[in-house]
Structure 1
Amino acid sequence: MNMIMDRSKLPGKLKVHAFNSFFYTRLEKKGPSAVMHWTGFDELSDIDLFLFPIHLGMHWCMAVVDFRSKSIRYYDSLGGRNDSCIENIRKYLQALQADERYRALTKDTSDVVVSDWTADYPQNTPRQVNGYDCGVFACQCAEFASRDAEMTFKQADVQCIRKQMEDEIRQGRLENQGSFYIRPDTDLTECAFVDIK
């Protein structure tokens, strides 16, 4: 998630803020007031997307808040819905927008009605076919959303995705800052990267 935020600082990229994996759990259990101090308001100004990793005990999903389209998208690689998650995020956004410090920093004087924002469970969310690749799928949904890219990966690509993620973690940056793999028809050593900007 941090590498996605780092890439978002480059010219021409969407401005993205990714919350840590504990943020949503705390929001869900304690409400918006319990997490308002977790992030500096200056980090949240002029943002296009918020990324929320969602941990459901034994399963990972990704929620994406898109300020441009005023929507909250929920990506679940098992095809589930999570209306309570959408509602918790709405409550957080409403509390954030009502906070004087945030409004002053963003110079936002409008009264945003977050309840009017659309909630979406995208039909194009790639599906996993096992019980253990949800983390890979959630991370890739975040990565693709952060580039406004069509979600073209699938279960058969997971070995190459894992290799790419491992390389990116070692390098401390996303591979080629916007490239993606091609799944080969042969073995894992032939995963290749192509520019898909």
Structure 2
Amino acid sequence: VGTDQRHTVEAAVHRFQILVDTALVSPQLEPDLVDRRLHKVDQWARRICDNPTKPTYTTGTVTVAHCDIVRLRGECRLSDAVLAACLDLIVKRDHLRRLAMPGIFPTCAAVDPGFYHKLMENGKLSYDGVGRWTARWARIGIRDLIFFPVLIAEEPHWVLVAVHPKLQLVEVYDSLSDRPRGTLGTNIIHFLQQEHLGKRGRPCHGQWDHRLASRIPKQSNGHDCGVFVIMYADYLANTAAMTFTDADMPYFRRRRTVEIERQAMLDCLTPPNTQEYAAPIYVDDQQQISSHLRPSITSATSSSSDCGATFRPTDLRSEGDNTANR
């Protein structure tokens, strides 16, 4: 067998191994790892929350204040900043996986938690209010999933709107209520149609539909809705069955604390077959990503990188608009 053929086979084997390893990684709590993960994550989260000397944490272009981090501990509703940071990390993980395993997982994007509030300013659709925030919208139209975290202000309550552009489907994930939320779905569809017309100069082909996601995990209290929004997005991005329950929320709160501080999802910190978590991967820099991936894979897939098209939550945040404490 020639050298080139051997390298091709080795690359294919490594690619398959990464695929197998990653398929075994799920955001749910694996029974044989529960004790170790809980203990380690609990230690990290406690250390972060008890360290007021660090006033802010930056994840990509999202800045999270220490007071927002502390809200992840205990029974507090999450702030806009925490939601934006966690969704940004999910999008970054998507970019990392596209480098290593293109076409395996759905491609993702997320919008700012304050976006829908601006879209519905004064109680009606206001395209002018958000139009200048969506200059890059045409570049994410090819994504498989777009996450809209929405605060139902009158309740108040966070829900996740998951848009499937290729399926022309809008799903509402509500952890507390079984209300149809038809108005919410309709408003998002109208916005998407308007953006398509404005950016491409022609109306959408086909018929958009919206529905309330059913048979999903539900919360049993009044403060975990934000955590559920993050978990819905996490599991959708992983194409994983939603097997978590409200009993897992304390763990997931601590886990998100660590992920914000380390600027990476815990399932991206090290190669999947590593037994202990190590230094985080900063997925904004392709060179840093490559140093954490197996060489034969990064050399074969680096040309598929599209980091510039990654849609960050703060792309929809206007200058000077601080929604973190709303």
Instruction: Identify whether the pair has TM-score above 0.5, normalized to the shorter chain.
Output: yes
Q: Do the aligned residues in 2 keep the contact of 1:17 with 1:43 (CA within 8 Å)?
A: no
One-letter amino acid of the structure 1 residue matched with residue 119 of structure 2: L
Please give the per-residue CA displacement for 1:19-71, whole angstroms capped at 9, x wherever unaligned: 10110111122423321221332542421111100101221110000123221
Q: 1:74 to 1:178 in 2, by over 3 A?
A: farther
Pick one of 197, 214, 217 that aligns with 1:126: 217
Residue aligning to 1:23: 115
Residue aligning to 2:128: 33
Offset, 1:125: 2.1
Partner SS state of residue 136, structure 1: helix
One-letter amino acid of the structure 2 residue matched with residue 68 of structure 1: K
Residue aligning to 2:161: 63
Residue aligning to 2:238: 147
Q: Do the aligned residues in 1 keep the contact of 2:163 with 2:170 (CA within 8 Å)?
A: yes
Bigger-Rg structure (1/2): 2
Pick one of 187, 191, 206 that aligns with 1:92: 191
TM-score normalized by structure 2? 0.49
Distance in structure 2 (CA, Å) of the matches to 1:87 and 1:168: 34
Greater alpha carbon shift after TM alignment, 17-26 vs 1-10? 1-10
Distance in structure 2 (CA, Å) of the matches to 1:126 and 1:25: 26
Partner SS state of residue 150, structure 1: coil
Offset, 1:152: 1.4
Residue aligning to 1:191: none
* Residue 167 of structure 1 pairs with residue 258 of structure 2: yes
Over the residues paired in the alignment, what is the CA RMSD in angstroms? 2.2
Instruction: Report the structure, 1 or 2, having the larger strand content.
Output: 1
Q: 1:178 to 1:28 in 2, by over 3 A?
A: farther
| Unpaired segments ≥5 residues, structure 1 | 180-197
Q: Which has the higher contact order (CA 8 A, sep 6+)?
A: 2
Please give the per-residue CA displacement for 1:100-139, whole angstroms capped at 9, x wherever unaligned: xx328xxxx6x4257x222121112210000111110111
| Unpaired segments ≥5 residues, structure 2 | 1-86, 271-326
Pick one of 148, 152, 175 that aligns with 1:77: 175
Distance in structure 1 (CA, Å) of the matches to 2:147 and 2:247: 25
Please give the per-residue CA displacement for 1:79-111, whole angstroms capped at 9, x wherever unaligned: 233111111101111111101xx328xxxx6x4
4+ aligned runs moved over 4 Å, structure 1: none
* Residue 53 of structure 1 pairs with residue 144 of structure 2: no
Q: Do the aligned residues in 2 keep the contact of 1:94 with 1:112 (CA within 8 Å)?
A: yes
One-letter amino acid of the structure 2 residue matched with residue 5 of structure 1: V
List aligned pairs for 1:99-114, cutoff 5 A.
99=198, 102-103=199-200, 111-113=203-205
Q: 1:45 to 1:69 in 2, by over 3 A?
A: closer
Greater alpha carbon shift after TM alignment, 142-151 vs 88-97? 142-151
Q: 1:24 to 1:178 in 2, by over 3 A?
A: farther
Identity between Structure 1 and Structure 2 (%): 27
TM-score normalized by structure 1? 0.78
